Amino acid sequence: MNRNEIIKEVREFVAERLFRGNVPSDFTNDTALISSRLLDSIVVLGLIGHLEETLNIEFEAHEVSVDNLDTINKTADFISQKLAK
């Protein structure tokens, strides 16, 4: 899966869980999700589970962090690096 496909997957998950499919026009792939508290811990865990299942990857506990998951772009970059290993 390439970076653009990862972005699409994450964006669709966030759009459904956070906005019920009605994404505001000012929401971008660089919008802070965790640090701004748009996503709570339950939704973050749901995202992790979804990505693990969909992409056949496994997150280590220390990888679930704002540094890796705060925006859609950061998440896509992190996952792209994991998949390249």
Which H, E and C letters describe 11-68, residue by residue? Answer: HHHHHHHHHCCCCCCCCCCCCCCCCCCCCCHHHHHHHHHHHHHHHCCCCCHHHCCHHH
d(CA 57, CA 12): 18
Kindly tell me the burial class for residue 85, based on how many C-beta atoms sit within 10 Å of its own C-beta (0-12, 13-18, 19 or more): exposed
Which pLDDT score, from 0 to 100, does residue 59 have?
96
- What is the tally of structural domains in the chain? 1
> 85 pLDDT exceeds 90?
no
Which pLDDT score, from 0 to 100, does residue 21 have?
82
Q: Range of 72's domain?
A: 3-84
The model's pLDDT over 21-66, given as tens digits with 9 standing for 90+, comes to: 899 999 999 999 999 999 999 999 999 999 999 999 999 999 999 9
**For residue 17, what is the domain's CATH number?**
1.10.1200.10
d(CA 76, CA 84): 12
Which pLDDT score, from 0 to 100, does residue 72 have?
98
* Mean pLDDT value across residues 69-76: 98
